[in-house]
Structure 1
Amino acid sequence: MAEETPREYGQGTFGEAKVSKRKIPFRIRVSSFFDAALGSTRGFALLGIAFLITLALVMTGIQAGIALVNVLNDDASDANNFVNAFWTQLSRILAVGDGGTWGERIMGVLFWIINISISAGLIAYITAQFMALFTRLGRGLSPVFESKHTLILGWSPRVFPILRELAIAKSSERRPTVVIYSDVLRPEMNDAIANNCGDLGKLRVITRHGSMTNPTEVARANAGEAHSIIVLRADEAGDASVVTTVLAMRATIGDVHPPVVAEIEDEHIARTIASATDGLVQSVQSSDIIARVTAQAARQPGLASVILDLLDFSGNEIYVAEVPELAGKTYGDALLAFEKSTVIGIETADGKNILNPVPTQKIAAGSKVVVIAEDDSAIAFTGVSNVKPLVKAKASGAKQKPHHLLVIGWSSMGHAVLANLADYLATGSSIHILARKELVAPEELKGIKFGKITPTLSFVSGRIEEVVSVAEQRNYDEIIVLGYRSQMSPTDADAQTLLTMLQMKHIFDDDSNKAKPARIVAEILDSTLLPLARAASSDDLVVSDVLSALLISQLSQNPRIASVITDLFDADGAAIHLVPVDEFVAPGKSVTFGELVATGRGEKSSVIGYRHAAEATTNEGTGVVLNPDKSHTITARAGDGVVVIRNS
């Protein structure tokens, strides 16, 4: 019977696969050994000791061999004068000594070669270690030891306005520090900050590089000792990167951590994270903020500048302050109890914010007031003032006129803008949407409705004659220009927006058509293009995602005002309004701001500022003065307005 060949089985079935062993050459084995030894300091030290012992043995053998050769032990000075002279000069250059015999001279040269080789090797190794250390430090891989810092996790264009705002907000601190931790290389971050932020004063910006989804690496940012944490949304990665970053951060420092402001677009994700973290993580939706402010800007000239003033740190800000002297008094009393700050609401003892409550509402012990002030140090109780209201020159509450809007361009932003705006529009208002037919499918706009208004639609190819034809059909009050952010890159969308603004300016300047000039509210995605947008249409307001950066900065420093900002931006509840001054006082008459506040109190409104129409002729962002002193005198002029917060 023939001998059976042993059966072999494949790996993973009943046995291991038979693998033939490859013979590795000795040279490669030695090379691999040296690579492994040189890869660590301990290996290098052991290899160096072995090398020195080997050299000592070799040199001992060479010296013994020289001793056996008689000619090498003869006196070398017997050689001719030229050879001796040459050796003398060479020995001085090499510093090996004169050497009485040829053997000593040979040993001197060999020792010189060994010394040079060892020195060169040590210098090369030490240099390599220092270079590796400097490279590591340059990559931003070292841990952060600062405390009470503002930690920014992530990287996006919003980081630049955030840094500028934090530089202002923290200017009174002794050593204000912001730590930015992201997966962007540190040199790129440092260069971008230097090129886009300008002078940040004494604000220290520390950048660190690493994975934001690895808790071990995130721990290097020292999030547990931060004053507040900002999580930015990378535009290309979406909300997923924010969620994983928040989870990595919480895995590092636990469930109790500093306040976190996260930039999240999806409303459902935002609510889920807020609920899962018991409100410690607040979300900011960039597109929602832009949509709300755009809607406010389209309502009335000057409202957007009021919002910007409240959001940035360079002017007035919103604070929540405890004033024990107000306990037992009414909200109406509080309105006139501060000379240099303006009261707009109450925070109850359980943390609920009520904007513009009725004047008769009592302020209970433990409650706080929500105020607008230039700084928290300006919030000083000056006593309840008995300022009398003005005798009103004109009945308030005039019937709101219909508003006609032309929307040029379209994206998901359009739904949010018009949904926010529709609640403010009077009966008889209209909305007409003009979109490029190659960029927006008619089915996308079919059947849309905002409140009680069903928009009319026009799909065009982009020729100026088509735009003129639409603009001539009605006298529009505002024109909203939206970028095609869903259909093209931000750069191309902004270029299209700027082109549309130039088109509208040309149409309004051309007397050959019947288009009536109107205000333009334009959406610019890249805030660095704002100067170009101003040049394209200098009289019109332009908003951008810098608004979300301003809100993120505010909430990172004062998370308690989140509900206040949300309420002010909503159509429901309290909102900012610009009321004609002749509803308060006859034009030409001088009054104090305190008298305007007292008059507004009688109308269940909180007066917060004033708008000078004459100063708003060149740019609607000017002319608005928020929170003047109560004793400040104002001379009313035709077209001026009073900025109030009142319930819708």
Structure 2
Amino acid sequence: MKIPLKEQIEYRLQNILARGTWALLSLLGIISVIFIFFTALMIKATPEGASESFINLLWISLMRTLDPGTMGGDEGSWGFLLSLLFITIIGIFILSVLIGIITTGIENAIISLRKGRSKVLEKNHTLLLGWNNRIMSVISELIISNNQYNGKFSIVILAPKDKVEMEDSIREKIGNSGNTKIICRSGDASVKIDLELTNINHAKSIIIFPPDSAYADIQIFKIILAIVNRYDSNEKRLHIVTEARYIDNIDLIKMVGDNQVEVIYPNEIIARIISQTARQPGLAVLYSELLSFNGKFYYKDIRSAWYDEASGDEIYYHPQKELIGQLYSDAVLSYETCSVIGVFNSDNKNILNPDMEYEIQMNDKMILIAEDKEKIVYTSNSDIKIIESKIVNTISVPDKDNILIINWNRLTPVIITEIDSYAVPGSSITILSENKNIDESVDVVNIENCIIYTKNGDTTSPSILSSLDISKFDNIIVVSDSDNLNKVEADSRSLITLLHLRKLCQELDKKPIIVSQILDEKHRSIAEETRADDFIVSEKIVGQCLTQIAENEHLNDLLLELFSAEGAEIYFKPITDYLDIGSTVNFKTLVQSGINKGESVIGYKIASLFNNPEANYGVSLNPDKHIDIDFNIEDRVIVIATVEY
């Protein structure tokens, strides 16, 4: 059957329209030329046009098309006037269509740009793939890190979200980004075409954020496979950082990434920090400071939330040729404004708190805690005098622990295992949970030193809490009910529990140490009103770990050792085991006392300031060795050691 001419014209017109702005402009130009040529022929047939050249008539028709408003003063025959009227009306139509096409084209171009589908031209940028609850924490930490240096930096984000939505969210929660440019692109990082938008071959580091879903690790596998297949391995080795939701997938993720991926397991990190902090209040504050960057060195007085938190001493790897051939104990005393915590050897291994007789080798780097890289200054002849008469060498053996854990989530088994590994035999752990199968859950936990008791009940009920006899517990851990509730609801219930505990503890002579898990950073300021001893903000700590490892890939193994019960870790030990208190003493003397015990001293905690946020809750990390301190019997020295006592 023959297709009607009308349908053929409509079909061809639709095809032209589908080709975009340039096709429409070309079609309009052809139509304009046809009408201008036809009008010139019409004018040529009139008496007024007979004496004019055809080229001049084409020019007259073109001007009438472009400026239809010039027809008012025309004179001549009706044929001449009607020809000019005809091209004037055509000109109005053509100009209207031209303006519409250009306007639509500009709008489409803006919409296309706002979709975030153009290729990124940045180099040496940090590439963030995906989007989840931790991304804002990571962006903040990256901005703080970049703000330490005098230069321009960039963060590129590729996520399956609307580009404008991402930019608005970042602008609302981050604000002024200092010397860091943030570029958002919309797409799926597991798709090759989308991944090519990010200029991945020139990325400094890559952080992968799995979605907030049960099978998030599958997306990690897909993204890593896409990266490995897309990346030009001849240029340089990739530096990829991500998190695994299931511990069994960690080795598989590393294998898929050709051992170019650093993987952290957030559940284990948070559980270990909670268990350590419960026994050593102030440790969460120290970890938060140690994992933060000091971003106020070059760019000052920026009004943004991240800038208020841009303070902290961080870990550096620093070669020091003057120390080659000297002992580790000499290196510990060779920096007045830094704290030496270990050695990074030629085999790319972190040796935390090595033997004090360890001899520094040619390619060794010192692992230090410093405020900024510029503050790392080697001092061969210090004028700080060590007061030997103030140094003592005693050991305090801890007592049995009686610990109460309120709520049960996926972290609780790890918390119990970690506490058991530190605890003195005969210690007890009591678990209060609304889970009716709590006894079955506890049975799967392997313990050696502790006795486990369980109680079923409402964790927000004051009568249930008071029935536990809070006075008999040394430590109380409130974990979030994150397995059953969302972040807001879980944090709200934790706050209610903390308020009840605060009321119950007011009448006690000896108050237990209370540590609480908080999921959302914005709830911390509210939680502080409950007067708990410490808070572990899950999202922030994991984000800080991801950022630190993205900036230095060797930190992953170091942090894993610090967080675990094996190897060297951070301890808060009684000051009376190190110094004869009663008068002021400089910090270098305390460092020397630690050397005598085979420990690396990195700071101290003043007990009387523990409830004072302005004084960093009494925790002083990496103080200047010149500083004089007047310690009291309740104060603690912060050390990195391989054994607690």
Task: Give the deviation of 1:372 after TM superposition.
Answer: 0.9
Contact 1:297–1:303, Cα closer than 8 Å, also in 2: yes
Q: Secondary structure at the match of 1:522?
A: strand
Query: What is the match of residue 138 of structure 1?
Result: 114
Query: What is the match of residue 202 of structure 2?
Result: 225
Specify whether residues 421 and 390 from structure 1 end up closer, same or farther in structure 2 by C-alpha distance, changes over 3 A only.
farther
After TM superposition, list the pairs within 5 Å mapping 1:276-355 onto structure 2: 276-313=256-293, 314-355=311-352
Contact 1:147–1:226, Cα closer than 8 Å, also in 2: yes
After TM superposition, list the pairs within 5 Å mapping 1:38-57 onto structure 2: 38-40=17-19, 43-44=23-24, 47-48=27-28, 50-52=30-32, 54-55=34-35
Query: What is the match of residue 623 of structure 1?
Result: 618
Tell me which of 597, 610, 617 is aligned to 2:591: 597
Query: What is the match of residue 183 of structure 1?
Result: 160
Letter of the 1:632 partner, please give it. I
- Identity score, percent: 29
- The number of equivalent residue pairs is 600
Specify whether residues 175 and 465 from structure 1 end up closer, same or farther in structure 2 by C-alpha distance, changes over 3 A only.
closer
Task: Give the deviation of 1:515 after TM superposition.
Answer: 10
Q: Does 1:527 align with 2:502?
A: no
Which consecutive unaligned segments of at least 5 residues does structure 2 have? 48-66, 294-310
Q: Secondary structure at the match of 1:434?
A: strand
After TM superposition, list the pairs within 5 Å mapping 1:130-209 onto structure 2: 130-171=106-147, 172-209=149-186
Q: Secondary structure at the match of 2:450?
A: coil
Q: Which moved more, 1:528-537 or 1:205-214?
A: 528-537
Letter of the 1:153 partner, please give it. L
Q: Secondary structure at the match of 1:162?
A: helix
Task: Give the deviation of 1:288 after TM superposition.
Answer: 2.1
Query: What is the match of residue 193 of structure 2?
Result: 216
Letter of the 2:567 partner, please give it. G
Query: What is the match of residue 299 of structure 2?
Result: none
Which consecutive unaligned segments of at least 5 residues does structure 1 have? 1-20, 68-90
The separation in 2 between residues aligned to 1:179 and 1:463, in whole angstroms, is 43
Query: What is the match of residue 112 of structure 1?
Result: 88
Contact 1:230–1:556, Cα closer than 8 Å, also in 2: yes
Q: Which moved more, 1:587-596 or 1:94-103?
A: 94-103
Q: Does 1:406 align with 2:404?
A: yes
Task: Give the deviation of 1:134 after TM superposition.
Answer: 1.0
Q: Secondary structure at the match of 2:581?
A: coil
CA offsets 1:28-73 (integer angstroms, 9 cap, x no match): 4432211101222564355335534653576578779999xxxxxx
**Larger radius of gyration, structure 1 or 2?**
1
The separation in 2 between residues aligned to 1:201 and 1:65, in whole angstroms, is 71
Task: Give the deviation of 1:491 after TM superposition.
Answer: 2.5
Tell me which of 369, 376, 380 is aligned to 1:383: 380
Task: Give the deviation of 1:403 after TM superposition.
Answer: 1.2
Query: What is the match of residue 296 of structure 2?
Result: none
Specify whether residues 265 and 387 from structure 1 end up closer, same or farther in structure 2 by C-alpha distance, changes over 3 A only.
farther
Task: Give the deviation of 1:174 after TM superposition.
Answer: 1.1
Contact 1:448–1:454, Cα closer than 8 Å, also in 2: no
Q: Secondary structure at the match of 1:630?
A: coil
Normalising by structure 2, we get a TM-score of 0.87
CA offsets 1:461-519 (integer angstroms, 9 cap, x no match): 4562542344316511221111221222222222222222222223334x5xx796422
Contact 2:480–2:518, Cα closer than 8 Å, also in 1: yes
The separation in 1 between residues aligned to 2:336 and 2:33, in whole angstroms, is 86
Specify whether residues 44 and 334 from structure 1 end up closer, same or farther in structure 2 by C-alpha distance, changes over 3 A only.
same
Tell me which of 628, 632, 637 is aligned to 1:637: 632
Tell me which of 223, 226, 245 is aligned to 1:245: 223
The separation in 2 between residues aligned to 1:315 and 1:479, in whole angstroms, is 28
CA offsets 1:77-129 (integer angstroms, 9 cap, x no match): xxxxxxxxxxxxxx996635423233333222221110011111122112222
Tell me which of 469, 488, 492 is aligned to 2:489: 492
Specify whether residues 92 and 358 from structure 1 end up closer, same or farther in structure 2 by C-alpha distance, changes over 3 A only.
closer
Contact 2:460–2:493, Cα closer than 8 Å, also in 1: no
Letter of the 2:191 partner, please give it. N
Contact 2:417–2:445, Cα closer than 8 Å, also in 1: no
Query: What is the match of residue 254 of structure 1?
Result: 232
RMSD, matched Cα: 2.7
Task: Give the deviation of 1:451 after TM superposition.
Answer: 3.7
Specify whether residues 441 and 296 from structure 1 end up closer, same or farther in structure 2 by C-alpha distance, changes over 3 A only.
closer
Q: Which moved more, 1:93-102 or 1:146-155?
A: 93-102
Letter of the 1:327 partner, please give it. I
Specify whether residues 346 and 30 from structure 1 end up closer, same or farther in structure 2 by C-alpha distance, changes over 3 A only.
same
Letter of the 1:297 partner, please give it. T
Task: Give the deviation of 1:381 after TM superposition.
Answer: 1.8
Contact 1:586–1:636, Cα closer than 8 Å, also in 2: no
Specify whether residues 25 and 459 from structure 1 end up closer, same or farther in structure 2 by C-alpha distance, changes over 3 A only.
farther
Contact 2:317–2:368, Cα closer than 8 Å, also in 1: yes
The separation in 1 between residues aligned to 2:142 and 2:552, in whole angstroms, is 12
Task: Give the deviation of 1:449 after TM superposition.
Answer: 3.7
Contact 1:335–1:343, Cα closer than 8 Å, also in 2: yes
CA offsets 1:594-635 (integer angstroms, 9 cap, x no match): 111111111111111111122214459521111122222222
Q: Secondary structure at the match of 2:229?
A: helix
Tell me which of 623, 634, 646 is aligned to 2:641: 646
The separation in 2 between residues aligned to 1:432 and 1:538, in whole angstroms, is 19
Specify whether residues 54 and 98 from structure 1 end up closer, same or farther in structure 2 by C-alpha distance, changes over 3 A only.
closer
Contact 2:502–2:532, Cα closer than 8 Å, also in 1: no
Q: Which moved more, 1:355-364 or 1:379-388?
A: 379-388
The separation in 1 between residues aligned to 2:580 and 2:115, in whole angstroms, is 66
Query: What is the match of residue 417 of structure 2?
Result: 419
Specify whether residues 262 and 304 from structure 1 end up closer, same or farther in structure 2 by C-alpha distance, changes over 3 A only.
same
Q: Does 1:35 align with 2:14?
A: yes
Q: Secondary structure at the match of 1:445?
A: helix
Specify whether residues 92 and 626 from structure 1 end up closer, same or farther in structure 2 by C-alpha distance, changes over 3 A only.
closer
Specify whether residues 117 and 257 from structure 1 end up closer, same or farther in structure 2 by C-alpha distance, changes over 3 A only.
farther
Q: Does 1:396 align with 2:391?
A: no
